[in-house]
Amino acid sequence: MIPFDNPRLIADIGATYARFALEMARGEFAQITMLRCADYPDFYSAITNYLNSLKPIQVVHAAIAVANPVVGDKVIMTNYHWQFSIESMRVQLGFETLVIVNDFTALAMSVPRLGAADVRKIGGGMAIDHTQQSVVGVIGPGSGLGVSGLIPAGDGWISLGSEGGHSSFSPRNEREIAVLRYAWKSFDHVSFERLLSGPGMELMYRALADYANVPGENLTAVEITDRALNGSDPVCKETLDLFCSLLGTAAANLAVTLGALGGIYIGGGIIPRLGSYFEQSPFRSRFEEKGRFSSYLMAIPTFVITAENATFSGISEILESQLRTIQAKPGSAILGQIRRARAELSPAELRVAEYVLAHPRTALNDPIVEIAKAAQVSQPTVIRFCRSLGCEGLSDFKLRLASGLTSTVPLTHTQVTREDSMLELGAKVLGNTASAILQVRNQINREMINRVIELINQANRVEFFAVGHYGVIAQDAQFKFLRLGVSSGAYTDQKLQLLAAGVLRPGDVVVIISSSGRIQELLEIAEKARERGAAIVAITSSHSPLARKADVALIVDHVEDISTHLPMISRILHLLMIDILAVGVAMRRNSDNMQLLNLESDEVMMESGKVNSDAEPPMLLGEIPGVSASSPLASLTSHSR
C-alpha cells in the first residue's frame, strides 16, 4: 500500500447530492460532508467550498466518482448540467493526481472489501467466496440506473465502466406493455433507466394510474415510496412492486450477460432504503424467471449493499491502484526509464529522479529553479539528469513526461504460458509487440532523430555494426540505404568489424545497434570510431555504456522475455528505428527515393512471378488515407522480401 503522506480527497457526485470525505488512512473516512448540487453553479465551486472548510489540510491526491460515463478528458454529466476537463480541474485545484471514474465502476470495486455486515442477502442462491474470483455484477437505481461488473484478473479485479442502464426496456406482460406505450408518448427510446430510477418511478406511477383509469397526482419518488410502504395508496403500492419486478429482470439480464456466478450486488439510492419490504417484493421471483435458464439464475445469489460508504471504499481502491501504477510500474515511458536507471545515476541525479517519481505532475509544471530546490541539487544537475535520459534538456524532458502522464493507451505485457492455445499465443505475441511499439513511440526524441538524419545525409559513408540476432538489422539497414544512394556497409563478424573500423575517416557515420549496449566488441568499435574521427550513432537502451559513448543515442528501451532466448520484440523495435531513419533520409533527399522504399515489395513479387507486369500496382501504404508517408508503416513494405 502507498503511504498516506497527506489525506486523500474522496467524492461521490450524483445528480442531486455531492458527498465528500477525507481518507486519513486506508478505509478510514473523516470530514464527510453532503452538499446539494443545486446550490453550486459548477463542480469547481462545490469542491472548493468543501476544501476551504478543511484548511489548513493539504490534499495531493483525489479520486471522484460521477454518475455518468467517463471517456477521455471531458466529463459531461448525463443527469445534471455540470461539465469539466479532468486535467484542467486538476491544475486548478493544485492536485498531483485526480482520478475520475463512473460511480458504479467505483461501487463495483468495493465489493471485494465488503463484509457480511455490509450486505443483506435476498432470496436463494449460493454465496461464493470472493477469494474464488468469480465474476460479479453490480446494479442499482438512483437518479439513473447504474450498472457495472467486476472481472477477476490475476490477483486483482477489473471494474467495468458500463452504461448498461441504457439497454432497451423489455416488457413481460400487458401491464408492462401499457407502461411502455405510455412512456413512448414522451420518449422515442425507452431504456431500463427511464423506469428504474427516481424520475422513472414517477413516470411509472403516472402510467399505472392511466392504465387503471384513475386520476394520478403529481407525486415525487419519495412520496410514492412512502405511500407504498404505509399501504395508503394502491397505485403507489403497485408502482413499487412493478419497480422491484423490473429491477429483477434487469439484474437477471446482467447476470446472464456477465456470467456473474459471484452474485449480483444492488446499490444506488433507492433499494437500500426499502428495508425488509424488498426481501418480500417480486424482485427475486422475477430474477429467477428466465425460461430455460431459470435454474442458472436460481443458483446466483443477490445482495443489497447496506454499507454507508461503499462507494467511497471503491473509489479509494481505484485511487490506490492508480498510485501503485505510477510509483511501481512505468506509467509513462520516461518514468519507466528513470526507475530502471536508478543504479546508474550519481547521488545528486538520483535525488532529482526520486523527486520526479514521487511528484511527476509537479515536476511537469515547476520551473527548473523549483525542481532543483525541491531535490536539493543545483540547476546544472537537473539538466545533466535530463540529458542522461536522452533528452536535449528540461523542456524536452517535460514534453516526454507530459506525453506519458496524459496517455490513455494502456501499455501492457502478457506472459505467454505453456497452457496457451495457438490462437491465444498469437494474440499475446501480437499484443505484446504492439504494446512495445507504442511505448517506444512515447520515448522517441524528435531532435535526436533529426540529428541522425542530418548526419547520414552529410556522411561520406555510413557503416552499420551489430552482433548476434541483431546482425540482420544491420544488413537490412545497409540494403535500405544503398537503395537510397547512400554508401553503406554492414558488419556482423568481429574480425571484419575491427578491420572496417580501422579505415574510418572524418565525415563517416558509424551506427552501432545493440539492445543492451554493453557488448564489449561493440564498445571497442565505438572507441575506434572516435579515434578515427567518425560520428557515432547508437541505437540502444538508455543509460548503457554504448549510449554514453555515442554522439547521438536513439533510445529503445524494452525488457525482453529472456526465457524465450530470442530477442523477438527488441529486434522489431530496432528495425522500426532503422525504418524511421530511412524514411527521413528519403524525404530529405528526393521523392524518387520514397518510391524506391514503397516499390521494393512490388519488384520482389514480380520477380517471383506472382504479379503480372501489366497489372495496376497495389496501393502503397503511404497512399492509404490516414497513413502518413513519413510514418514507419510506410516503409514496412520493404520487410516483405
Higher pLDDT, 289 or 395: 289
Q: Is residue 411 part of a domain?
A: no
Overall pTM > 0.75: no
DSSP secondary structure, 174-206, as one string: HHHHHHHHHHHTT-SS-BHHHHSSHHHHHHHHH
Q: Is residue 241 part of a domain?
A: yes
Pair (399, 510) in one structural domain: no
The whole-number pLDDT of residue 491 equals: 95
Pair (149, 255) in one structural domain: yes
Mean pLDDT along residues 322-330: 58
29-43, 113-127, 320-334, 504-518, range with the lowest pLDDT? 320-334
Pair (278, 206) in one structural domain: yes
b/e sequence 335-361, b meaning 16+ C-beta within 10 Å = bbbbeebeeebeebbbbbbebbbebbb
Q: Is residue 417 part of a domain?
A: no
Cell of 143: 437518479
Share of the chain above pLDDT 70, in %: 80
What are residue 98's phi and psi, to 5 degrees? -135, 110
Q: Is residue 624 part of a domain?
A: no
Output the average pLDDT for the chain: 82
- Supply the CATH number for residue 368's domain: 1.10.10.10
Please tell me the total count of domains within the chain: 4
Asked if residues 578 and 473 have their Cβ atoms less than 8 Å apart, the reply is: yes
Alpha-carbon distance of 575 to 577, in angstroms, equals 5
Q: Is residue 436 part of a domain?
A: no
The whole-number pLDDT of residue 74 equals: 78
Pair (468, 358) in one structural domain: no
Pair (161, 277) in one structural domain: yes
State which of 317, 344, 360 marks the end of a domain.
317
Share of the chain above pLDDT 90, in %: 44
The whole-number pLDDT of residue 624 equals: 36
- Strands 302-305, 119-122: pairing is antiparallel
Q: Is residue 415 part of a domain?
A: no
Q: Is residue 176 part of a domain?
A: yes
Pair (41, 179) in one structural domain: no
Higher pLDDT, 532 or 412: 532
Q: Residue 475 is part of which domain span?
A: 444-589
pLDDT at 109 over 50: yes
Higher pLDDT, 366 or 599: 366
The whole-number pLDDT of residue 404 equals: 57
